[in-house]
Each structure stands twice: as structure tokens, then as C-alpha cells.
Chain A
Amino acid sequence: MTRKFLTLAAGALMLGMSSMSALAAGKTIAVSWKTFQEERWKTDEAAIKAVVEAAGNTYVSTDAQGSAQKQAADIEGLISQKVDVIMVVAFDSDAILPSFKAASDAGVKMLSYDVLVEDPNALYVTFDNVGVGRIIAQEIQKVKPEGNYAFIKGDKGDPNATFLFQGMMEVLKEALDSGKVKNVCETFTDGWKPDNAQKNMEQCLTSTGNKVDAVLAENDGMASGVVAALEAQGMVGIPVGGQDGDLAAINRVALGTQTVSVWKNARELGKVAAEAANAIADGTDPTKIAGVGKFSGGAKGVEVNAILLAPTPITKANVSAAIDAGHITKDQACAGVAAGAVPGC
């Protein structure tokens, strides 16, 4: 009886192993999305799916619908389906840690996508968020090296709001210390809401008597609120920075009411992450993948392997970059801009 069982088990094991080796190219790569409530994730998904399927692997996905519990259950489900790699866009980067551990224990390779999960066994693929803040500050400083700067920060509960601000401060530290640049307003904006940003900017202008020379907003939605507030004071045209590559923001850049929108090309991020996932699924050591370095800038300071992509600043000079990449149509980008006034329009 026992022997029979053992033979069966061995046979099953053999079968399993042989099927695994037969599927050398046919790995399964799963993505656990935190939500599909934002448009951008569809872009990421399309890019990931294309790369995964081009390599002969299978793409599966789950949607946590903005719930940490659902995401944990999703990952459990994926582990029991015996997928090879799980890419996770974490909804709550701390609450998901046990799921990461369980997956690693079960031999599933983990990858944290866009949102940092501080698990040393997971590869972190993202845009350099501190870098985004740095670029916003650099572009603003290029056009306005001295003066009063206002900072419209994102939601206080989002670590990215702090990363972005850190980046800005790295660039501006010297100018702030020497007094060339003065920080006259600095506010968090509830929920990253544009209308809240507009009110914050209005209060900033009132409380400084309009003595603001440049505004660094942490995203484009809030930049739209800032521009509306500036317009009411006839101050449109002073440097305004933002990020996201919002279609309306690229149009504002072409019109000259916004100086820079730092664009994180989601297609690019999806492509790089999917390539990394393919490689890991084939057994490549994460540290051997091109572009991988060490990152320990998270809240707990855990060192993880990471790929940090550099984002693209969209300024008047390279509006065409977003058009050429198919991110925005020429009509949308150049609405209201005289033909030839801006390169690409």
C-alpha cells in the first residue's frame, strides 16, 4: 500500500517536473492590480500583456478593487494556481507583506510594480518618484532661478507626495539656503483634488499679496487648479510644474500656461517590468537583469533589488515626444496653439 502510494507520488512528481520543463516558454505571469478605477492601469496592462505573450508566456490578472483584504486573497488564489511570477501593484504596501512572504515560501517569484513593497525577495520596478520631484524643480529653476516658490503637495497619506517633495528639496536646497529661492507656501492637498489645490493656491496668493514667482504642484490635476487660481489674478504665465502627462496638462504646456509636466510613460514601465518578469520566470537571477540596482529609500529602509526608470519631462520644446509616442493626439496637444508656434504643433 505504502509502496504503491510512493510510486504514485513519484510518478506525479515526475509528471509535474516533465510538464514544467515542457513549458519552459509557457510560464504563467500574474498581475495583482490594486484597482482599475484609474485609467492609467489599462495602459500598463496592455503593455505588460503584449510583452508576456510575445515571449510565449501566459498573462493572468486579478483586480483587488481597492481593498487590502481582497488583494491578499487574490495572491493566495494565484499561489494555489501555481503561477510562476506575481507582479503586485500593492494597495497597502505594509498589509501585503505576509502575502509576499507566503508566495516566496511557495516558490513563486515576486515583483512589486510601481508601489514599493519592502520585501527583500521581491524585485521593485518603478519610476524614480524622488527623481520626478527633482525634475520638476530643475525645470522650474531653469526658467526662474530666483524668487518666491509655492509648493502644492499631494495628499498627506500618500508616500509619493513626500518622495516628490524630497526630490524637489534636494534640487532646491542650495538655493533655499542661500536665500535665492524662498518657500512662501507649502500645503498638502486632500485627495490630490484639483479644486482643493485651487483653493489652496487662492489662499496662498492672498496671504502673500500675490508675491509668488513660481509654483511647484505635485501633479497635473492640481496644476490645473493652480493655473485657474493664477488666472483670476492675471498671473498666468508664471512657471508652474506638475507631473503625470495629463492630456490637458500637455495642452497647457503647449499653450505656455504650464512649464513642465513630468511624464511617466506607463507603456515603458509595463514593458520593462514584463521583460524582467519573463526573465525571472525563466530562472534568471534578478540581480543579473539589466538596470537592476539596490534601493533602500522606503519607510523601513529594507534593501531591495530595483529597476528605477527615468521619467520624461514634457516642456514646450518636446511636446512632440508625447505625440510621437501615441500618448496624445496632435489635435489634443495643440488645441488653441498657433501652428508652428511650438515645435511639434
Chain B
Amino acid sequence: MEMSKHDMANDDGSPLREIFRDRVFNGIHQGTTWQFHRYGINCKLSGSVYAVSEIEGAIPLIHGPSGCAFHQRLTPRKMYAPIYNLPCTDLNENDVIYGGEDKLRDNINEVYRRFHPSLIAVLPTCVSGLVGDDVSGVITELDLPCDLLHVPSEGFAHRSRESLDMIMRDYAESWKDPSRSPAYDLRGCGHEEVMFSIVDQLMEEQEIVENLVNIESFGRFTYGFRSELREIKHIFGAMGVSVNLTLPTCTVEEIKRAPAAELNIVTRNLRWAERMKARFGNDYIRKWFFYFGLDGVEKFYHDAASKLGLDGEADDAIRREKTQSLQELEKYRNIFARDDFAVSTQGFFFTPYLARIYATDLKLPIKYLCVDMQLLKALNISEETIEVMITNMQEAFEEWDLKFEVITNPTLDEMSEIAKKVDHVLSDRITPPIYEKGGGVGVTDISATRYLLFRTGFSGIVVFGKYLNRELNTGKTGQNHREPIISRFNYDKIYYPMLDDNRCSASREMWSGMWSMKSEGCDNNGRR
């Protein structure tokens, strides 16, 4: 696990500053990478490299040609901290013909000699996968004073386009009925394969310790992770619950002892947690979208307490934390209540629940909720799924008695008209620069600070409220007279912030079409 200067300097206890620092120092790399996902996706191998790099004392060993290790050093999930120590078996034509197992054996020994790691994680590539090298066999016969791990990470077994579409649709179906939350994973992301492998190959049977939990994390990749973790530990501590470790951001020895926890808190994929449950009996709880917001966070801790057999016992602690946040939030709510708001947001897994935080927790008097569904098209989400999302979102708002008008994919002109009818326009996505084109719509950018709202804790919403109050008082939200350089470009009408440029649009369409063809049940045009 690499520790940068930013990591060390970034822990002064201010959650807001942490968010902005992460946004600037991570975001400058990560944001670009997400935009490049319009033209392709990264290798499964890079997800595995990332996950292994989070394990302290682990070295990933690429079993493939040097080119794989060359570019996997820059893994999309960790663009801010390239994986510099990434040895490789450097397979050549001879190895493709005769097999690379001997070379793998030699390289594992060499990696141990050079790095003396706690763990060597062997990551096969397309080439070693096609050649058919028996990685597990090689690992089994070696006797080294460190742990060895085999992670199936061959790049051609990546996820298909339809997996995200199906998950998105299932999410939309479950917005009103959370019991229908999707229970399957994004296949082939590489991270999942590492998690599953460490459960199967590293973890050891432990005596389960009561009220001990493991938390799946993405480390610095999640903006504001450190202060969120502090709060989670604080709330759990008040409930009499201890955090055992964060997975996979921990040591190898900690991973081995992970089964001592009574409960796993799952952030992303379920498969590893299910495997732990089957192997070691550890229960799990997944952080779903419905755990967002003050009531959602309260429910999360109640559900976790219930899983830990603390029903009733933890109630006081949870209530105390929530009440304190509500009291702190009250003054901001009163200020917000004086004005009218429009909020510009994007359609995604969590959209209705995020809107509910604005309207219910922060009590923003929202007149218009402007939802951009175009991003979903860039992710190859089908028109049918987008329709389901829009319908179900509207129904959820009606059921929750949220009175704002929902406007889907507003144009710049429409946004301009909306802005005239409210006191403030907030945007939690990356569009504010385009709204400033020609001195247009004045928008308060909350795209970075919205990360405070997704936390498994109450204080993030309070910090957000305080920040928003300060921003609204600066008078920035009126008609804007700036002309930022990025507002002067012409952008694609649908895929903002992609430039209006034939090369970009053709490459995007090319990727979208070719990727669609890889979906099961699709014809060569990506149609089902």
C-alpha cells in the first residue's frame, strides 16, 4: 500500500478539507479516467492490481508479457498512486509455445528475494491464460516464507455491457421496495476476484469474536474515506462494536484473522462475503442505497446491531448520534427554508435517495429536480432501463410525498428559465461550467461536497449543510458573469463533458457498439 505525502497531510480532521483535497489530488486523475470510460474500459487485471496494492506488504506479480505490467502500473482505480513495484514474468514467444510455468516459478522466487513481501499475488494475463499455465499448481509446489495467492485475472474474461444494464434496472425496481435489491455482482472487475481469492486462499478459521466487524473499503478512492471511517468507528464504538479491519486495505496477517469478525460490511460485491459466510460462518450486511440519509444511516446501524444480536441495546447510542446531528442541522434548515431551490442531479443507482436527503434531511424547498439521464447512455444503459428508472423515480417521489417537479434532461435554455424561477440552482454533477457559457445560469457547485451525503454516518449531512449555507451567503448563486475557459468549448449535446468533435463521438460510438455486441443474447448490432 503506497502512502503519499497527500495521505499524510490529509488527515487534519476536517472532513470538508479532506473531500476537497481528495477531489483535487485524486480527482484530477480519476475524473479523467471516468471520462475515458466512454471510449473503453480497463482490463480486469488492473482491478486485481489495484486490490492487491491495497494489501500492506503484498506484491502483485503479473504473469504475462512486459506490456501488461508496463501499463497496469497505472490502474484506473488508483491513478493518483501508480503501482511502481509491479514485477512481471515477461513472457515471450518461446514461453507461449512451451509454457511459462518455469518462468513463473523462477519469478516468484526472485520477487521474494528482492522484496521479502508478506504476500505474492500472481495475476495471470490473457497470454498465460491462453497458454494454459497451471498457476495454482506452481504456487502449491513452492515453499517460501511468505503467502502466495492466485487471482484469476485474465483480461478477456471481463464484464459485459449487459451486466451494468441489468443491475441498473434491478436497482430501479427496488427503489420503492428495497427488499428487491439486486443480489449479484459486476462480473470481471478484478477487484472481486482478489476479494474472493483472499477468502479462499488466505483467510484462516478463527474463533468468532462478538461485536467485531470488518469493513470493505476502497481507501482513498472514496473521497473523504478517512473521516468517514473515523465516524463509523465512533458510532460503532458507542454501540459497543469494534472494527476488526478494512478489507483489503490492511495487512496480510489481518486478512488471515478476518474471520474473527462476527459481521462483514460489504460496500460493493457480495460474492466474497457469501463465501466467507459459507467457509467461516461470518454474517454480512451490504451498504445499499436505502442506507443513505439520516433515517437510512439510522436503519443501517439498527440492522447491523440486529445482525450482531444487539437489538435494543444499541438504540440509545444510535439515537444520541442522530439527535445531535439533527440539532446541529436545525439552524441550517431554517435558513434554507426561506428560499426556493432547483437541484440538478444525474440519474444513477442512488438518485431518488439523494433527492430525498436534499428535500427531507436538509429541508431544501426544492421546486425543480432536474435529472440528467444522459450519463446512463454513455454507460450503455438501454432506453428501456432508463424509462423504468424515470417512472420508478417519479413513483418513489410521490410515495414519499415530495412535491417538486421532476424535469428530465433539461436543455441549457430550460435551465436558464428554471433559474429565473428560483433563488438558487444547485448542481451535484459536473455541469456547472457549461451553465456558465455566455454568462448564463449561476449554479452552486456541490459535486464534490455531495460525497458527504453518501456516508455511513450522520455528521456528513451536517457538514454539508454548513458548507451550503456558507456558499449561499457568498452571493455566487445569482447571475454569473464569469467566463471560464472550459465554458467556451462546444460540447456534445448528450455526452457532456465530451467535446463536440467527430473523433470523440466516433470513438465513443465505436466503443459502445462493439461492447454491446459482447452482451449475451445480443445480435451483432448489440440488439437483444
Please say whether chains A and B are actual partners in one complex: no
